Structure 1
């Protein structure tokens, strides 16, 4: 009679210990070092519980969907995932994000992991591979499939493109006007290529002055000097109030900007993360996430992942105010 509980226990645990067929493991690396992992699993027939290994135990955004994009129940225990299947499940995808697979030394990034299945790695656009731990199984135009085991891929990223210089050159090409072709010989002989660029905006700036003089007989009075004085006074008062307000905000913060910068440099943060935290500090310790993103010139998804990492490290608090996300520094 004691054999029956043992047989029932074996039948219950059998689907769990059976090896699942991992059909594909894809790793997409972002320029900031964040990694998106997608595992495609074909479970054994008649299995209701399947164990899935993960590339890292420190993951975020974990989700499991079957072949019909229906969510499945799961439990995470370290770097292992237990997925509870439905009767109709023939395939399911496991997706998660992690920042623990990449490290940076100088200009060289390194992706390292230990996994019992082949992994297809897709590096950021323009990345140059400088070292591989093993001979790849396959190489395509945008991915490398590494064999199972303890593997690493070292690469460097190209320098960022200088888009602001292109916009400045295009704007200067629209400045020349017919009046610029009538320059006197003295201005041509006394100016070099650099002064000619600074002199081009002066011709349009003189045009409104001549127009205001022509309109003077119609009104009989010239109010341009009065408006100029009021504008100067208004700008000066506004700048004084803004400086006073920003100064008062900074004095309320518990640490100085220099102390915060020295602390951040010892935490191994990226340049974008340090600049984002300094931007929030300069705006009184809290700022809209959209403003920080626009100031740094980074995409929306990259900014979301960056602030997610900073929040996990206990450096900021991300909260909702209305329909916008706000970021607030945490001083410890």
Structure 2
């Protein structure tokens, strides 16, 4: 029976609240604002309700709000949203303290690397806490209290500019790394081009010198190829290696080596049982 009576009282008070003229009979005793790294802002208001108020209208700090909770102790209270305010229905006359919590998405805007919080605090000072490693750049009013990540300020129209150094240092580090990689690639490409050009010049140089050498000593193609192979091998190699590289019969290779030795272009010497050939002509002196 008592349960039905209490339920009836709640229904009657709710009906009265729907038609009652809203009252401003409350005091905001505490206001906490948490600014998250994604620009969302959580607002938590502690509200003291004056005696015998059954409806109170509390304006939101922002116009785009969500995740709303209205609590009296452990219990949720009914409410309505109207014209940027929340109308809270107080069905129990014994309720004196209400906790209003919501998230606002339009209190912070970003301008490049700087975030700006704009909020109108006309009821009481607010404890504004910034989540993450934040750096406060500018505050419109003189704070009541201040620490590395929180400010007590207000009332009034408040503007706070802040940034997140770690986020941009990471971006700058990535940007620097990217620039370094690009520069490294450019340098490697340039070195590759220069090396290729140097090889082309060296080949052209050797070809020009070999043509002069062939003309001066009346060398045939096999002899020119033998000189070229010796140059590629650093000026010396075994006679067997040279014969295999030029794909010559033993007798032909032996005769060619004898001719080059007689012309004073190579020197033949023994290493164990094997003949070795060393280039003796100075290619740089050929004109």
Q: TM-score, normalised by structure 1?
A: 0.43
Which has more strand, going by share of residues?
2
Q: Which of the pair has the greater relative contact order for Cα pairs under 8 Å at 6+ separation?
A: 2
Q: TM-score, normalised by structure 2?
A: 0.49
Q: Quick check: which has more Rg, 1 or 2?
A: 2
